[in-house]
Every structure is written in structure tokens, then in C-alpha cells.
């Protein structure tokens, strides 16, 4: 039996539309491309260096904070001073005399400056420390969990049960309530695109509503040990999932935000 040409043509058009729809959906839902050098670089920056650059910026506001941190975090102090002196004389970054610095080093400084301008985690008071009270924590990112079945994808901040937990930034509440691992947990899609995960809460603020907005510093709940933390001391598990679905180590950022919270800018 011969299929009429009109039917064949119609089926071809429908197939083409389906393929185009699939392609468009894939493009729209494709995870953002995060350059592989961004977070490895950010994770190497110490709170003390951030504090030093903030202090230098306060003394010389005409020098961009990102310029100072990019230089100091890339080259030794004696080499950095030559460049800082030029910035003090109102020479722009693009017009610096780099002296005998290798081309790869100059390229690294410029790249680090780009990263710091785009990712503002270390800008003073841009983000809020999530624990409003006494806490202690260490870098346990990547440690084994469940006998090595999975890795620890966050930082545990320990404190007294019920200690207030607050949102580190503004965003939308994507997850709210109980799950097996996190217990009472809240997930916030930050304005920066990252997903911020607050787990093992004793309770969640009844004011929070899934799908609604939350602001930086807004109360999330009380510190606890729900979920798979029943046998551990009370703590907040805090995680950062990037827009591309990868988790990154929150510890370096928390250390800087804690410094701001303690008022250690100067």
C-alpha cells in the first residue's frame, strides 16, 4: 500500500518539529559552563589575604579591590609591591609596567582579576554567615560518609541545639521540609544561581514557604541533628551546589563570611 505524499510530508514536518523542540529544550536546560579554573582558584584564597586587601582598599579607595586581591594572591609580596606602587600612582591595570614578570604570570593575574569581578564571594558583607551564634567548624569537605559510599559535600558547623540559622543571601526557596539524609532541611536558589543547602535543622521557620523569596539574614530555623545526624552533635550541614550541578567546598567562603560577621575588616 502506497502512503499518500501529503501524509508523508506531514509526518516529516511533525518529526522535524519534535526534533527542534527537543533541541530547544536541551539548550534551555543545559547546565551553565563554569570554567574549571574558577573554584580551584577561589578556594586557595585565605581570609587573612582577603582582610589585607580590604584594608589596602580602605586606605586607597581608587585601587580596585579585585586588582589588589588578584595581584597579592598570584605573586610574592616583593613582586606584588612593584605593581601596587604603580596602582597607587593612578596607573590603571591595563597600563601597568609588568617588569620582568613572565607572560604566564601576567596572564594569571589578569584571569584572577576577571574571576574576582564575576564571583563576588569575598566582597565585604556581600554574603552573610549562616550561624547567628557561637559555632566551630573545620574543613571536612570530601570526607567519607556511610563507610565510603558517598563523600561529604559540605561543611558542618557545630553549636548549641536551637542556635539560629539564617540565609546567607537572597533567593528563592526551592526545597523545604524533611528528607532521609538532611532531616529538616531548606534549599535556597540564591540570586547568584547557586543552590544553598541547610540541613539537620531542629525545626524550620513556619514563615518560610516553598517557591517564595527569602532575603539575606532571614531566619531559616534552629540548629539540630535530624536526618542521618541523629547520633552526632548538633550542627548545621551547609552545602553549595553550583548551577552546573557540581558541589563545591563551602569552607573557604564560610571562613571569610565569618570574618565579616565578627567585624574583622580592619
Cell of 219: 531566619
Q: How many residues does the chain have?
A: 266
How confident is the model over 139-175, as pLDDT tens digits? 988 775 655 556 778 999 999 999 999 999 999 999 9
Question: 133: alpha, beta or left, given left = phi > 0 and alpha = psi -120 to 50?
Answer: left
- Residue 180 CB partners (closer than 8 Å, separation 6+): 227, 228
What's the predicted TM-score (pTM) here? 0.85
Average pLDDT, integer, range 16-22: 58
Given a contact cutoff of 8 angstroms between Cβ atoms, the answer to whether 203 and 158 are in contact is no
Given a contact cutoff of 8 angstroms between Cβ atoms, the answer to whether 93 and 87 are in contact is yes
Element housing 92 (H / E): none
**Which residue in this structure is represented by grid cell 511533525?**
14
How confident is the model over 196-210, as pLDDT tens digits? 999 999 999 999 999
How confident is the model over 47-101, as pLDDT tens digits? 999 999 999 999 999 999 999 999 999 999 999 999 999 999 999 999 999 999 9
Tell which residue, 141, 128, 224, has the closest CA to residue 182.
224
Amino acid at each position: 500500500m502506497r502512503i499518500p505524499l501529503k501524509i508523508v510530508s506531514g509526518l516529516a514536518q511533525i518529526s522535524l518539529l519534535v526534533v527542534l523542540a527537543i533541541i530547544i529544550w536541551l539548550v534551555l536546560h543545559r547546565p551553565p559552563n563554569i570554567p574549571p579554573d574558577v573554584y580551584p582558584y577561589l578556594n586557595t584564597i585565605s581570609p587573612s589575604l582577603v582582610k589585607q586587601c580590604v584594608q589596602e582598599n580602605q586606605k586607597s579607595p581608587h585601587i580596585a579591590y579585585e586588582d589588589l586581591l588578584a595581584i597579592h594572591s598570584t605573586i610574592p609580596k616583593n613582586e606584588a609591591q612593584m605593581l601596587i606602587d604603580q596602582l597607587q600612582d593612578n596607573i590603571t591595570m591595563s597600563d601597568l609596567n609588568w617588569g620582568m614578570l613572565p607572560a604566564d604570570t601576567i596572564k594569571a593575574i589578569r584571569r584572577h582579576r576577571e574571576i574576582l569581578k564575576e564571583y563576588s564571594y569575598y566582597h565585604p558583607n556581600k554574603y552573610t554567615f549562616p550561624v547567628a551564634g557561637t559555632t566551630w567548624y573545620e574543613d571536612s569537605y570530601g570526607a567519607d560518609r556511610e563507610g565510603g559510599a558517598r563523600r561529604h559535600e559540605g561543611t558542618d558547623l557545630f553549636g548549641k541545639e536551637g542556635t539560629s540559622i539564617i540565609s546567607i543571601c537572597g533567593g528563592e526557596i526551592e526545597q523545604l521540609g524533611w528528607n532521609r539524609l538532611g532531616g529538616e532541611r531548606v534549599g535556597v536558589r540564591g540570586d547568584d544561581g547557586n543552590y544553598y543547602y541547610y540541613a539537620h535543622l531542629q525545626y524550620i521557620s513556619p514563615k518560610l514557604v516553598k517557591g517564595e523569596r527569602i532575603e539575606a539574614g532571614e531566619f531559616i530555623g534552629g540548629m539540630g541533628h535530624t536526618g542521618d545526624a541523629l547520633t552526632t552533635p548538633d550542627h548545621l550541614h551547609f552545602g553549595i551546589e553550583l548551577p552546573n550541578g557540581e558541589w563545591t567546598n563551602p569552607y573557604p567562603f564560610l571562613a571569610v563570611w565569618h570574618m565579616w560577621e565578627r567585624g574583622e575588616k580592619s
